[in-house]
Amino acid sequence: MDLKERLEQTTRERFGLAPDRCDDRQLYEALLIVTRRAAEERPAPAGERKLYYFSAEFLMGKLLDNNLLALGLRDQAQELLASWGRDLNAVEEQEPEPSLGNGGLGRLAACFLDSIAALGLPGDGVGLCYHYGLFRQKFVDNRQAEFPDPWIGEESWLIPTETVFPVSCGGFDLKAKLWDVAIPGAHSGVANRLHLFDVEEPAPPPEQGIVFDKTDIVHHLTSFLYPDDGDEAGRLLRVYQQYFMVSAGAQLILQELKERGYSPAELADHTVIQINDTHPSMVIPELIRLLTAQGLTMDEAIEQVSRTCAYTNHTILAEALEKWPMAFIEKVAPQLVPIIRELDRRAREVCPDPALAILDEKGLVHMAHMDIHYGFSVNGVAALHTEILKKSELKGFYGLYPDRFNNKTNGVTLRRWLEACNPALTRLIDECIGGGWRQDPGRLVGLMDFMDNDRVLSHLLTVKQSARERFCRTLREAQGIELDPNSIFDVQIKRLHEYKRQQMNALYVIQKYLEIREGRLPEHSVTVLFGAKAAPAYVMARHIIHLILCLQRLIENDPVVRPWLRVVMLENYNVTWAEQLIPAADISEQISLASKEASGTGNMKLMANGAVTLGTLDGANVEIAELVGPGNIYTFGAHSDRVLRLYDDRGGARYRSLDYYHTPRVERLVDFLLSPELLELGDARALAELWRDMKGKDWFMALLDVEEYISVKDLAVRQYGDRKSWARKMLVNIAKSGYFSSDRTIRQYNQDIWHL
Ligand SMILES: *Cc1c(COP(=O)(O)O)cnc(C)c1O
């Protein structure tokens, strides 16, 4: 394809200008159009079996750079723009980030689509076309405020299709209109699709924040991801979204099955559905319904669907395992009720234990239970997580169906999370070991041969230094904040949740603040960077953001502390921020309460960019620790088995935060929330609520680990001073990150589950 010719033609047709006369906005649009077409023109991968990856979220990030890279056009585009005196990076800044996901789970789905296409496997995504995303975060008076986050302009990555499916919702009918995003695979020459369903007449953005009429299903079904479920209308809207997504998706699957020349009775031989967490679980009864409508008996339909569906569990947090009242399903999709009742009846025949039933005595439908009884595979997302599922959370199911359980440790696409976001590091790696790691990321271990190469080690430090400097420029432009690029960049970027324990990191900041005020200066200046959105209805998470923003302000105003300690919370943390910050990170904060983080993927991205993990033995941190060895990671904290016992009522082991609060050091830190200097900046009620919760409840046990956390972090800061030894730690982390390529993860899914 002649990129130059196509670009010239596009800018002439659209703007009546030659490319070198266009502004960045126009050049972006032209590149978008040309790239979209190039991806669209690629053939789909061939195969007798096809995967459909169902997910409520696909946190895609910007696509221009990624797609140029996958299409092999990136260097050409860069040179071409340079010949017109332009900069590809500046043009890419024009792209809005599609806002179709929330955190790790949605980003995983996006990395998976990238790897599936790169490996040339036939696999499409199925999801919803949210117009305003989760929300756009702004900080107002040291608090989070939420606004719509639109991303669909006149031109976008969406490719219109002719496909429309009817979806019958109790009292009324909806039409699901299909839009596609092409997913070109790197080095594979093929492209898959992300299928996004939308309502026919989507509503304009709400006028006031993210408040809208949640009963106006027809127009608002696809407005926001995870609408506020604080009331019944919000919860019902989520069920409408889920049913709309799976009904349309199931119809698409059966239509394509027919087009491929197979009968409905052959579904399982030619189709596999991966259910990403429980949001798409209703695809099981919906497919059964559609198959019986096409003439299969109930037995046959159940058999086909059970051999088609596989379920990925992402969490052991009880509140996240969805249970919907049957009354909601009665309202949203009454046609599913008799099927779900029948599935429950049959499950009880196999296993009479009511704890494993689909429908409980309160009339709640346990979505995960339906997935496990009527799917052929259940996987956790890191070795420890899968073990906990088998040993405790899903123990009864494991006893019933031991062969269904398997582990698939998460991964990330190194094309986006190393090659695209960190070109300088990529060049250094290429110089050391050549480019073969792109096809076979395991080859990154070749970097271990350079452990004693002073030139490489010092080059590595320079690359990191430049990345910090670059990030400082970006932050200055975005938020007007000036940082010291020689400071240690200590990074905690992830959804705000008490189990991830940003509050524990805030207690570290308080400790350092107090020490510096007392004249005890640290060995090295530290910049603590946070990026996190809180679910709008999650009060304690909002309070933690408030605390961090107050600490940020407190230190900014303090000329004594400021040179040694800074705190920054990035506004509207998203994939684009992650791509900018991760190359600059020195310390990767992965401090969840052991047993609570299923895997984490931020930990993998940071490691691949030479950050050293400071973490608990939780999720994939356990596997990172095994790979890099004890000298190249900082671990601390109670182990998962102890934590699980502390949640247990029996034997009086239960965690009591007050016992930990009443130690001199901890009490002082927690009480700082009510200090005059913080109260002057913050909201007294919010700070008091957070203080009371930390002291008297602390459900995620920050006080259990905080003292060890602070001393291990002090150790990391001290050892950072030995630059050569730190560079070795960085090198080992990069060298061992190949295991966490999502290409490896997808190969394993294919070998063990999909068989494409
Ligand atoms: C990778 C990523 C996440 C997941 O981070 P964890 O630390 O694994 O929770 C969340 N949000 C964004 C934008 C990401 O890129």
Residue 374 has φ and ψ, to the nearest 5°, of -115, 30
Closest C-alpha to ligand 1, atom 9: 494
pLDDT band at 319; cut points 50, 70, 90: confident
Catalytic-residue membership of 494 = yes
pLDDT digits (tens, 9 = 90+) for 388-440: 999 998 999 999 999 999 999 999 999 999 999 999 999 999 999 999 999 99
Catalytic-residue membership of 131 = no
Looking at residue 134, what is its pLDDT? 94
pLDDT band at 651; cut points 50, 70, 90: low
200 exposure class (CB count in 10 Å sphere: 0-12, 13-18, 19+)? exposed
Q: Average of pLDDT values for 317-333?
A: 92
Query: For a pocket test of ligand 1, which of 62, 149, 410, 493 has the largest count of ligand atoms closer than 8 A to its C-beta?
Result: 493
Residue 16 has φ and ψ, to the nearest 5°, of 65, 30
pLDDT at 318 over 80: no
Looking at residue 314, what is its pLDDT? 95
Give the separation between CA 370 and CA 359, rounded to whole angstroms.
9
pLDDT band at 503; cut points 50, 70, 90: very high
Query: For a pocket test of ligand 1, which of 137, 421, 494, 574 has the largest count of ligand atoms closer than 8 A to its C-beta?
Result: 494
- Pocket flag, ligand 1, residue 144 (CB < 6 Å): no
Q: Which of 315, 386, 601, 613 is catalytic?
A: 601
Catalytic-residue membership of 214 = no
pLDDT at 304 over 70: yes
Residue in 555, 557, 564, 568 with CA at minimum distance from that of residue 480: 568
Q: Average of pLDDT values for 375-398?
A: 96
pLDDT digits (tens, 9 = 90+) for 442-468: 999 999 999 999 999 999 999 999 999
Cα distances from 82 to residues 18, 88, 351, 711, in angstroms, run: 15, 8, 67, 49
- 90 CA to centre of ligand 1 in angstroms: 25
Q: Which of 36, 74, 408, 494 is catalytic?
A: 494
pLDDT digits (tens, 9 = 90+) for 539-585: 999 999 999 999 999 999 999 999 999 999 999 999 999 999 999 99
Give the separation between CA 173 and CA 218, rounded to whole angstroms.
9
pLDDT digits (tens, 9 = 90+) for 51-107: 999 999 999 999 999 999 999 999 999 999 999 999 999 999 999 999 899 999 999
Looking at residue 464, what is its pLDDT? 98
pLDDT at 652 over 80: no
- Pocket flag, ligand 1, residue 494 (CB < 6 Å): yes
Looking at residue 653, what is its pLDDT? 73
Whether 637 contacts 591, CB under 8 Å: yes
- DSSP H or E run through 264: none
Average pLDDT of the chain is 96
Catalytic-residue membership of 62 = no
> What pTM does this model have?
0.98
pLDDT at 229 over 90: no
Residue 166 has φ and ψ, to the nearest 5°, of -80, 140
- 12 CA to centre of ligand 1 in angstroms: 40
pLDDT at 283 over 80: yes
Looking at residue 473, what is its pLDDT? 97
- 103 CA to centre of ligand 1 in angstroms: 5
Q: Which amino acid is at 332?
A: V
Closest atom of ligand 1 relative to the 605 alpha carbon: 1
Closest C-alpha to ligand 1, atom 14: 575
Instruction: Provide the token pair at 271.
Output: 């189709």
pLDDT band at 194; cut points 50, 70, 90: very high
Whether 219 contacts 143, CB under 8 Å: no
400's CB contacts (< 8 A; 6+ apart) are 350, 351, 356
- DSSP H or E run through 752: none
- 576 CA to centre of ligand 1 in angstroms: 11
Give the separation between CA 470 and CA 198, rounded to whole angstroms.
39
Catalytic-residue membership of 307 = no
Provide the percentage of residues in the chain whose pLDDT is more than 70. Answer: 100
Closest C-alpha to ligand 1, atom 3: 104
Catalytic-residue membership of 258 = no
pLDDT at 362 over 80: yes
pLDDT at 278 over 70: yes
Q: Which amino acid is at 100?
A: L
Looking at residue 553, what is its pLDDT? 98
Give the separation between CA 619 and CA 601, rounded to whole angstroms.
9
Cα distances from 491 to residues 498, 529, 593, 653, 707, in angstroms, run: 17, 5, 17, 33, 19
Closest C-alpha to ligand 1, atom 15: 575
Q: What is the CA radius of gyration of the chain?
A: 26
Give the separation between CA 52 and CA 128, rounded to whole angstroms.
14
**How many Cβ atoms are within 10 Å of 649's Cβ, its own excluded?**
7
Whether 560 contacts 514, CB under 8 Å: no
Angle at 294 between CA 293 and CA 298, to 5 degrees: 60
Q: Per residue in 43-79, is it b (16+ CB within 10 Å) or e — as a string? A: eebeeebbbbbbbbbbbbbbbbbbbbbbbebbeebee
Whether 337 contacts 404, CB under 8 Å: no
- Pocket flag, ligand 1, residue 502 (CB < 6 Å): no
Instruction: Provide the token pair at 590.
Output: 């992965």
